[in-house]
A and B are shown apart, each in its own frame.
Chain A
């Protein structure tokens, strides 16, 4: 009997930290999930609701982004630009970057307003225009 007692390891004193271990396990799991699954990116939102689509290909970030809100307010790389000042602003940007542009238009914008912007973009010499959409699950 005494032998058995000797063989048994002495019990560690209960530590208040022991209770934290399951908590830390879960918090670490959450941390790893958000680190891997999430993507840190600049939020570009001028109150836009982008059109939804399930079949378009993943977007590639473009150096020039033009946002067209429901009220026809134009943001060029997060700066408000009027329609009249747009050609000049685009020509200075075009000198620095290749001829691709991302257009983020609100889904309620009508074509007559979008066309005004597209005409200016064509005149500025952009060869490819990427119309951004939100990816939804295909049903």
Chain B
């Protein structure tokens, strides 16, 4: 009965123009909002956590402005840059290690040094406090 009353519909294909409008809007949205930058992080134990992990005295390393690592105990003029081999043989990688960067060291240099230590197997590396006497020597140079 109803089929008699209703006019017969012709089978119509969907217009592609409407579809592509929507797809273009979606494409614009995803192109503008998505980002492809990858972030990574260098993990540092704060001195608070490092002291809980170990009772022993931490190893000290000095980091110069140009990114060279040297013994912290030796006077600044005498200290030679440590190679990777020297670092792994002279220092215990499982012990807490404190880096003491010079005052003018840039974050890029610090990050490079921290990742170098990570590659060598040092797990508990942290940044130490500034040493006022070290600053004075750097300032004189």
A residues near B (Cβ < 8 Å) are 17, 20-21, 23-24, 27-28, 30-31, 34-35, 37-41, 43, 50-53, 55-60, 102, 105-112, 114-115, 118-119, 121-122, 125-135
Contact = CB atoms under 8 A, between A and B. Distances in A.
A27 B106 contact: no
B39 A55 contact: no
B39 A17 contact: no
Contacts of B24: 27
Contacts of B27: 27, 30-31, 34
B42 A128 contact: no
B38 interface: yes
B76 interface: no
B46 A126 contact: yes
* Smallest CB-CB A-B distances: 10 pairs: A38-B34, A34-B30, A130-B41, A127-B49, A107-B108, A59-B41, A56-B40, A135-B38, A112-B103, A51-B108
A16 to B, nearest CB: 9
The residue among B44, B103, B135 with the most chain A CB atoms within 10 A of its own CB is: B44
Interface of chain A: mostly helix, strand, loop or mixed? mixed
B35 interface: yes
A121 B110 CA distance: 18
Interface string B108-141: 1011101100110000000101100001000000
B42 A131 contact: yes
25 contacts: A17-B13, A17-B16, A20-B20, A27-B27, A30-B27, A30-B31, A31-B30, A38-B33, A51-B112, A52-B108, A53-B115, A55-B115, A56-B111, A59-B40, A107-B111, A110-B107, A111-B101, A111-B105, A111-B130, A112-B130, A127-B49, A128-B46, A129-B43, A131-B44, A134-B38
A128 B105 CA distance: 22
A110 B35 contact: no
